Structure 1
Amino acid sequence: METPLSGIPDDIPADLTKIRIEKSQLSELPKAAFSRAKFLKHLWLNFNDIAIINIKSLEGLVNLTELRLQGNKLRSVPWTAFEETPNLKILDLKHNRIDALPEHALKFLPGLTYLDLSSNQLSVISKDVFLNWPLYHAENRHEQPAASNVVLALNDNPWLCDCRLGGFIEFIKSLSPPFILMNSYLTCSAPEFKAGKFFHEVDLKTCVKPVVSAPDTNITVPLGGNITLTCFATARPEPAVR
C-alpha cells in the first residue's frame, strides 16, 4: 500500500504538464510549491486536507490553465495568488469551507471559463465581487467577443436572503450569456421565513435600513420611581425587536 503524501515532493520533474495529488495528507500549499514545473497546465489537488494556501504557492505557473481543489478544508483563499496564473481558465473550489469573498477576489482571474464555489459556507457576498471582475467588465463593454461561455457554480451554499444579499440576488437575476449558472435555482437558507425560496422568488429591492426613535427623549423621574420607556423601530421588511 502506498503511503499518502504529506508534503509536495522536491523532485518534481520540470517537464510535467499535469500533476494529480488526491486523497493524501496534504494540509497546505507552501511558497513556490510547483515552481519547478514551468510547463504545468493541469493541477488536481482534490480530496486532501489542504487548509492553507501560501500567497506565493502558485509562483512560476504562468502556463497553468486548470486548478482543482475540490473537497479540501479551505476557509479562505489568497486571491492575489492568482496574479501568478494569468492563463487560468478552470478553478474548482467546491466542497470546501469558504465563507467569504472579498470584493477583489476575481481581479486576477480575467480568463476564467469555469468557476465552482458550490457547497461552501457562503451566506452573504457583495455583487461587487463580480462587477469588479475584468472579464465581466470586458463583456459588458463589448471590448472583445467572448471566446466561450463562462460557467459559474454557486449552488448549495447557506445563502442569507436579507437586505445584505439584495445586490447579489439582483445581479444573479440579470445574468445572461456568455455567463451561465450551472444551477440557476439558488436557494435561500435563512432567515427562516425565506428558507427554501429560490432567488427569483425573493424581492429585496425595497429594503430600508432600520431606524430607531423614541417619542420622549428628556424625562425626569423622582429618585426611586419607575418609568416605562417606549421606542419605535422602522424598516422594510418590518424589523424584529428583541
Structure 2
Amino acid sequence: MRDFTRGVVLCALLGSVYASCPPRCECSEAAHTVKCVSKDLRSVPAGIPAYTRNLFITGNQIRRIGPESFKGLDNVTNLSLSNNRISEVESHAFSGLLRLRSLDLSNNQLAVIHPEAFTVLNQSLRELNLSRALYNHSSVMDLASSLRWSSLGNLRVLDLSHNSLIYLPSRIFSHLSGLRRLQLANNSLVALHNASLSGLELLEELDLTLNALKTFPEEGLRELDSVPRASLLLGENPFTCTCGIEPFALWLNASQARVEDADGLLCDFPASMRNTSVLAAGALTLGCHQRDAGADLALQTSYVFLGIVLGFIGLIFLFVLYLNRKGIKKRVYDLRDACREVWEGYHYRIEIDSDPRLSQVTTSADV
C-alpha cells in the first residue's frame, strides 16, 4: 500500500512537471531551461514554467513581441529570440523580465522598434545582440531612439554586426555610458562623424572590420580618439592610399598599441599601392606634401605675375587717356551737341503735330 501511494505521488509530480511545459517545447527544471526551437510557433507560448532562467524560442514564425509576451517570468536571465522573423518590438516588451541579463534578437527583420522596446526594470540588461536583425536602413533611426529611451546605462555588450549600416545617427550611443564592447563589423559604414561615438568613454573594444571605410579624415580620427580606452579592429576595409590617407597613416603609426590589427591594414586603391601596408603610406604622403607645396608656389607665382601684367596694362590705358584728353573732350562735346540737335528737332516735330490750327487747315483742304 505504501509503495502504491509513493507511485501515485511520483506520477502526480511527473504529471505536474509535464503539464507545466508548453506544447512543442522542451523543459528541464534541473537546468532551469526551456527550448522551443523550430516548432513553427506564431507567438510566445503560454505556460512557460516560472523556474525558467534560460529561455530559447528560436527558428519560429513570431512576428511581434509585446508587453504581454513574458509575464510572470521573473527568473529569466538569458533570452534568445533569434531567427523568428520578428518585425516589431513594442515598448516595455521585456519589462516583466526583472533579472534579464542577455537578450538575443539576431537574425530577425526588425522594421519597427518602439522607443522603450528594450526597457528592463532595474536596468539589469548587460548584453544585447542585434546582429542581422535590422530590416532596412530606416529602422536604424528607430533603434537610435530606443537606445536613448530604454534606460540601458548598464549595458556592457552591443552587437550590431551584419546589418548593412551605411551611417550611424548622431550620438546614437550617448546613453550607453557603461558599454564595454561594440561590434559594428560587416556593415557598409563609409565614415565616422557627427559624434556617433559620443558617450562611450569606458568602451574597451570597437570592431569596425569589413566595412566601407576608405580613410579616416580628421573628424573620423577625433571619433576614434573619443574612445581612448578601446582596442580597435579596422581590418578588411578598402583603404584608399592617396594623398588623403596621410592624417590616418600618421595617426595609425602613433596608435599601433590601440589598433590590434594595425600591421594587417592594407591599401586597396590605387592598383599600384594595392596590398601595401597603410603604415608605410607615410612615404607616399611626404611626396604629396612636396607636390602640393610646389603646386601652391607655382599658383601663387602665376597670380602675382597676372596681377603685374594687368596693372601695367591699366597704367598704359590711363596714360593713353591722358595724352588724348583734349581730343576726347572735343568728341564728348560734339556728341553732346549732336544729341541736343536731335532732341530739339524731335521736340519741334511734336509741337507742330500737336498744333490745332494745322489740323483745321488739313480739314479745309479735304473739303
> TM class by shorter-chain length?
0.5 to 0.7
Are 2:85 and 1:85 aligned? no
Matches of 1:21 and 1:155 in 2, distance apart? 26
1:54 aligns to what?
Answer: 114
Deviation string, structure 1 residues 55-87 (Cα, Å, up to 9, x no partner): 221234421111001122352153242341111
Q: Verify the 8 A CA contact 1:186 1:198 in the aligned structure 2.
A: no
Task: Map 1:1-242 onto structure 2 (within 5 A).
Answer: 2-3=39-40, 4=60, 5-8=62-65, 10-12=68-70, 13-15=72-74, 16-61=76-121, 62-74=123-135, 75=137, 76-77=140-141, 78-83=143-148, 84-126=151-193, 128-130=195-197, 132-133=198-199, 135-136=200-201, 150-161=204-215, 165-171=216-222, 178-181=229-232, 183-185=233-235, 187-188=237-238, 192-193=269-270, 200=279
Task: Measure how far apart 1:99 and its partner are.
Answer: 1.5
Whose radius of gyration is greater, 1 or 2? 2
Change (3 A) 1:199 1:157: farther
Q: Which has the higher helix share?
A: 2
Q: CA deviation at 1:43?
A: 0.4
Separation in 2, partners of 1:188, 1:71: 22
Q: TM-score, normalised by structure 2?
A: 0.45
Select the structure with the greater relative contact order (CA < 8 A; seq sep ≥ 6).
1
In 2 relative to 1, CA 93–199 (structure 1 residues): closer, same or farther, beyond 3 Å? farther
One-letter code aligned to 2:63: S
Q: How far apart, CA to CA, are the structure 1 residues paired with 2:128 and 2:229? A: 21
Runs of 4+ deviating beyond 6 Å: 194-198
The superposition leaves residues 11-58 of structure 1 with CA deviations (integer Å, 9 ceiling, x where unpaired) of 413312221011111112222221221321110111112233222212
Give 1:235's aligned residue.
none
**Is contact 1:187–1:198 with CA below 8 Å preserved after alignment?**
no
Q: CA deviation at 1:201?
A: 5.5
Letter in 1 for 2:127: E
RMSD: 3.5
How many residue pairs match? The answer is 193
Q: Is the 8 A contact 1:80 1:108 kept in 2?
A: no
- Separation in structure 2 between the aligned mates of residue 79 and residue 198 of structure 1, nearest angstrom: 35
Identity score, percent: 21
Unpaired runs of at least 5, structure 1: 137-145, 209-214, 216-242
What one-letter code is carried by the residue in structure 2 that aligns with 1:150?
E
What is the TM-score with the length of structure 1 in the denominator? 0.65
Give the AA of the match of 2:208: L
Deviation of 1:186 after TM superposition, in Å, equals 5.5
SS for the counterpart of 1:82 is helix
